[in-house]
A and B are shown apart, each in its own frame.
Chain A
Amino acid sequence: MNAVETLHLTKAFGTRRAVDDVTFSLPEGSFLSIFGPNGAGKTTLLRVLSTLARPTGGEARLCGVDLKENPDEARGLIGMISHQSMLYPDLTAEENLMLYAKLYGVANPAARVSELLDAVGLSHRRLDAVRTFSRGMTQRVSIARALVHDPRIVFLDEPYSGLDPHAVEIFDELIGAVRGDRTFVMVSHDLAKGFSMCTHALVLARGRIVTFAPKDEIAFGDFSELYRQTVGMGVA
């Protein structure tokens, strides 16, 4: 089954089409990296796929669930890690995770939260307010938050933004550890990093797909050259 399927997906703001006629299918268990220049529509596409924005036209399905018809069912399938932590700074790490665990209806929220805090290595700081955490630590709690309901698809919206190299390393290790058979869709500006992590690559420019291909069908050199030619030279 495909984890993500879009058919002529469009999102317009007034007359401007931020996402324009986007069609692609991503098999379950894949890791899709979405690249593109600023304003290409990467984040808008992710917002539409995560039900945070309504599409203007076209269709989108997550694990066969239509976003327009069953948005709540689709929401249960996804987790989101963004450059914003989506954590309440004045609540502790544990309180934040308990909040989301209860909202999602996790059967044993206390045990799940404890397990996740162990997994991200923050059990010792569970009673500290998130406001007191470094950016890297906050992003680790954010990973735990996104996984609290064990989603089948995880969206990553520029997750490395503001992280120092050490925090990036820890973040990559954690993503590797929690990957399992989940599907990941990541928006990134970093071509080399995004390409190294993905199984599929998608380049977006002016809201339209320039390239969408499995990584094993294209070498990084060719891909980066194609990216430069299409995006950098304004062909797209």
Chain B
Amino acid sequence: MPRVAPSTFSQYRTLLAKDLRQEFRTREMLTSMGIYALLVIIVYGAALALTAHGVDIVHMGGGLLWVLIVFTSLLGLARSFAREKEQGCMEGVLLVPLDRSVVFLAKATSNILFMLAVEVIAVPLFYFFFMTSEPAAPTLPFIVAPLLVGTVGMAGIGTMLSTITSNTRSADVMLAVLFIPLIYPLLYACVTATTAAIAGTEFWTDFFVMPLVLACGYDVVMLLVCWVLYDFVVSA
């Protein structure tokens, strides 16, 4: 049987295409994450309904938005690996002679894409329901940057943790227990940067640039750690 050693990139592309094809066929993750995001917005509506005029929504908006993103992501991340466990698919992939970090990279990429797809719907909805009572700051479009940086970091760390917790008895709970403390620095930085962009007050860049740089640094360090440790995690 003639074989050509496939490049790491072609294996990455094959694994990513597999994840995308599965999701577009079942829409399992996108639907559940989308519905969950919508439900969180409805709950926010109820929670803020009686206090709408007394709440500084401009300064709370960033935090509320990230609560929505974090919990929606948790739901998707838990699902993403559960699918790999079904029928031992992950073991089938691990039997292939490939750099196991490629498995991590492909899974993290697909998680980033699914999370971004949900954010594309959820963030405008959140803005429409809660932020339109105040005039939009000219800096509002800059929220894209912390959203992107935060999503990349959360997807990377979440992919690693969902791999670790998938073999535990209470995988969903374990994922949340490990995920939230680990992403806390990233979350804090992203909430600060997002709030700065939404508020757009004087000296807003002071509260935007530095947290964003810290969030980028955190992403790089954590993704490198995940990349390096993934082989050990799936073999242990």
Contacts and interface: CB of A to CB of B under 8 A. Distances in A.
Contacts of B98: 72, 103
Interface string B83-116: 1001111011111111000000000000000000
A150 B92 contact: no
A185 to B, nearest CB: 14
Given A52-B94, A82-B88, 8 more contacts: A51-B95, A87-B87, A88-B89, A99-B14, A100-B96, A102-B6, A105-B5, A149-B1
Contacts of A71: 97
Interface string B25-69: 110000000000000000000000000000000000000000000
A151 to B, nearest CB: 9
Interface of A: 50-54, 71-73, 75-76, 78-80, 82, 84-91, 95, 99-100, 102-108, 112, 129, 145, 149-150
A105 B88 contact: no
B1 A91 contact: no
Do most interface residues of chain B lie in helix, strand or loop, or is the interface mixed?
helix
Contact of B92 (A76, A86, A105): A86
Contacts of B2: 106-108
Contact of A102 (B10, B83, B86, B94): B10
Contacts of A82: 88, 91
Given A72-B97, A91-B21, A99-B18, A107 B4 contact: yes
Contacts of B83: 88
Nearest to A105: B6
Given A90-B22, A107-B4, A150-B1, A53 B96 contact: no
22 contacts: A52-B94, A53-B235, A54-B236, A75-B95, A75-B97, A79-B95, A82-B91, A88-B83, A88-B89, A89-B87, A90-B26, A91-B22, A99-B14, A99-B18, A100-B92, A102-B6, A103-B93, A104-B3, A105-B3, A107-B2, A129-B25, A149-B3
Contacts of B22: 88, 90-91
Nearest to B14: A102
B88 A85 contact: yes
B166 interface: no
B25 A90 contact: yes
A100 B89 CA distance: 11
A88 B97 contact: no
B6 A87 contact: no
Contacts of B93: 103
A99 B89 CA distance: 11
Q: Which of B18, B25, B83 has the most CB of A within 10 A?
A: B18
Contacts of B236: 54
Contacts of B21: 91, 95
Nearest to B23: A90
Interface string B186-215: 000000000000000000000000000000
Contacts of B25: 90-91, 129
Contacts of A88: 18, 22, 83, 87, 89
A99 B13 CA distance: 10
Contact of B95 (A50, A73, A85): A50
A72 B235 CA distance: 13
A102 B92 CA distance: 13
Nearest to B231: A71
B14 A86 contact: no
Nearest to A54: B235
Contacts of A87: 87, 89, 92
A75 B99 CA distance: 12
Contacts of A112: 1
Contacts of B26: 90
A52 B10 CA distance: 23
